[in-house]
Chain A
Amino acid sequence: MNWGEIIQYALFAASVAAMTAGLVFVLAGAIGVIRLPDFYTRMHSAGVTDTLGAELIVLGLVLQAHDWQTVAKLALVGLLLFLTSPTATHAIANAAHRAGHKPHLSRFRPPHPSEAGKPAGKGTS
């Protein structure tokens, strides 16, 4: 086993680690979309998916690329995501705001699942 192979294995391990971390954030974003109460708060959770989740997966792919052209193309994909995803998020949020959709602005604190069935506690909205 020479240095070239060692570096190759290290890059592969780093790539798998980056993609796994990306998947964790994508999953967290999806769970947030289900758990959060209204449109605007769900949008924040979707933001986790398209910033850190997507960029970490692209980073993992960059670490597996063999020539610089693939790296450059993937970097362009990452840059495009970086520039377009906030624009799309703002477009959606602005459309909802202009259509008169009111955000939920009080404290949101649903009861713990273990207390389900008991009389409604404080803070359930």
Chain B
Amino acid sequence: MSNEKKSKESFLARIRKSPLFLPIIALILVMAVNIIHDAATGANPLGFFIIRLQNTTSNGTILYGRIIDILNRGSEAAILALGMTLVVSSSAGTDISVGSVMSLSASFCCMLLAGYGVSSTNELAVPLFVGILGGLLMGCVCGCFNGFLVAHLHIQPMVATLILYSAARAIGLLLCNDLIVYIRNGSYGIFGSFIGPIPTPFIITAICVCVLSIVLKKTALGLYIQSVGINSKASRIAGLNSKRIIFLTYVICGLFAGIAGIVNSSRITSADSNNIGLYLEMDAILAVALGGNSLGGGKFSLAGSIVGAYTIQAITTTLYALGVSTDQAPVFKAIIVIIIVAIQSPPIKAYLRKRNAAKEVARV
């Protein structure tokens, strides 16, 4: 009996220690709020979970439902969170330029496709893959710039990325000649719509996650990144090229920002430099923090970040469903963030541990 109880306890403790504990609890809470809201308004209480096939005029038969919507809309933040996780892990800092880099990549891609100074086009000026490659390359170049500043000039990540935070969006505007470039060609919109019944952004996210986790698991890169993050000096003495690893994480982050930018601009089949990726860097950083990753670098969990990103999207979608406007939603986001990080903060953790220990003593 007592043995059984003990194993049960350790199982609970194991769950509580898992990096996924916090985001999943948050996700469950969000679902609970949805169920209560639906029940209170007289709708089907399980409406949140219903996924059905629906015929649409533009995309044919697609999957439809609130979960699908969250998976679809949260893709950009999830893609960004992947790169951000690596950057946070290796350099103990955040890349605040990803939102602007998204915008720059999308602008560059659309400028290549439409030609300079053209604001709307039906014919592509260059083949589609050239434009996409250009956009991704632009992301990588931005990543290289950030990586060079952080790894080789030893500048704090936030200051280094502050440069592109303010410049990238402005350069994107220059590339587009201060216009919104519309690509009215069906082939470009594919990245933001549906392939068969499944939303393309979700497929792209899944591919990114698979490729990245295979690379991190099959090569020693994942281990190296964590090692540099925990102690870059010791790693260097152990024979790792710390600079190159930090540089690499920023390039990867830039590449993912490029992918996210193209997905986002494909959704609206245009390059709106002022609005693509606005505040998305905050969502990505939040996703990393929510996923149980320390912003102080070191160990990381990709799964945590992805669940974190979709949790944020779930919160946003739920708030909209509750009738909160787009402008007002940040208030609730802020309160949720503060509660989550306050629970994780060292003094509160120490307090809880002390209380648990006191309880143990009292029981004995």
Question: Does A pair with B?
Answer: no
Which residues of A line the B interface, CB within 8 A?
none
Which residues of B line the A interface, CB within 8 A?
none
